[in-house]
Amino acid sequence: MRRILLALFGGLLAASLVLQPGLSRTPENAGPQFTADGKLLRPEGYRRWVFVSSGFGMSYNANAGGNGAPAFTNVFVTPSAYDYFLANGKWPDKTMFVLEVYGSTSRGSINQHGSYQENFQGLDVEVKDESRFPDKWAYFGFSASQEASQAESPGKNDCWNCHDKNAAVEHSFVQFYPELLKLAKEKGTIKPTVHLEDKK
């Protein structure tokens, strides 16, 4: 009897999870989901993906930056892609990365020094999909609230070009993710055109 009750309870729990609106939109491991007209649905469960690393106040333009508090960027990747990377040092088809942008502050509660993350500012998403995109990788920007996003002028736009030229492994900036960098070095998958040392 106890077993039956447990099974019933489990079933109800599973059904309630599936039926809950919002949770069913983009299941965590489903990979990139697109609308009929090719817009990427905002990835919902990404905070349960694998956390890759964070950047703090990073700027890729020597003349920009320094205005206001620096932002944090938190990078997440789909779990199955992460497992594949551990084994191969490369990314499989349907890999999806999310980069969250958070504003920072140093004043609050008991904090006296250093910075922590405060207000959510937006999501940048990167998808590898060899059948959908002729250039393999595509880039999407979401504001803090927007639900679906068209690839930012799909094809070889600014996002694509910078990632193609400068990222250490395929289109991913593994040079800034210490744990993945170790692995890529072991597997020999760093692009020969990319120089990891400081450019100065």
- 75 interacts with ligand HEC by CB under 6 A: yes
What tokens appear for 190 in the block?
A: 């760093």
Q: How far is CA 30 from the centre of its chain?
A: 14
Find all residues with CB under 8 Å of 166, minimum gap 6, and list them. Answer: 60, 173, 194
If one asks whether residue 135 binds ligand HEC (CB under 6 A), the answer comes out as no
Of 16 and 29, which has the nearer Cβ to ligand HEC? Answer: 29
Cα separation, 48 vs 82, whole angstroms: 13
141 binds ligand HEC (CB under 6 A): yes
d(CA 28, CA 78): 8
Query: Does residue 118 belong to the site contacting ligand HEC (CB under 6 A)?
Result: no
Largest CA distance in the chain: 72
Residue closer to ligand HEC, measured from CB, 28 or 122 = 122
Applying CB under 6 A, which part among 3-11, 13-21, 86-94, 172-180 lies near ligand HEC?
Answer: 172-180
C-alpha 90/C-alpha 148 separation (Å) is: 28
Q: Tell whether residue 158 is a contact of ligand HEC (CB under 6 A).
A: yes
Q: Which of 84, 106, 107 is nearest to 172 (CA)?
A: 84
Residue 159 in the binding site for ligand HEC (CB under 6 A):
yes
Contact present, 144 and 178 (Cβ < 8 Å): no
* 55 lies in the site for ligand HEC, by CB under 6 A: yes
Number of residues lying near ligand HEC (CB under 6 A)? 23
| Of the residues 26, 78, 149, 172, which one makes contact with ligand HEC according to CB under 6 A | 172
Binding residues for ligand HEC, per CB under 6 A?
A: 55, 58, 60, 73, 75, 97, 99, 124-126, 139-141, 152, 158-159, 162-163, 167, 171-173, 176
